[in-house]
Structure 1
Amino acid sequence: MLTDAELLRYSRQILLQHIDIDGQLRLKQGRALIIGMGGLGSPVALYLAAAGVGELHLADFDTVDLTNLQRQILHDSHSVGQAKVDSAMVRLSAINPGITLVPHRTALDADSLAAAVAAVDVVLDCSDNFGTREAVNAACVAARKPLVSGAAIRLEGQLSVFDPRREDSPCYHCLYGHGSEAELTCSEAGVVGPLVGLVGSLQALEALKLLAGFGETLVGRLLLIDALTTRFRELKVRRDPQCSVCQAIHHQGSHDQSQ
Structure 2
Amino acid sequence: MSAGIGRVGVVGGGQMGAGIAEMCARAGLDTVVCEVDTVAARAARDRVAASLDRAVRRGRLEEATARDALARMVFTGSLDDLADRQLVVEAVIENPEAKTEVFAALDKIVEDPAAVLATNTSSLPIMRLGMATARADRVVGLHFFNPVPVLPLVEVVTSLHTSAGTTAAVEDFATRTLGKTIIRSKDRAGFVVNALLIPYLLSAVRMAESGFATAADIDTGMELGCAHPMGPLKLADLIGLDTVASISESLFDEFRQPLYAPPPLLQRMVEAGLLGRKAGRGFHTYDQG
Q: TM-score, normalised by structure 1?
A: 0.43
Query: Which one has a bigger Cα radius of gyration?
Result: 2
Quick one: higher RCO (CA 8 Å, sep 6+), 1 or 2? 1
Q: TM-score, normalised by structure 2?
A: 0.39
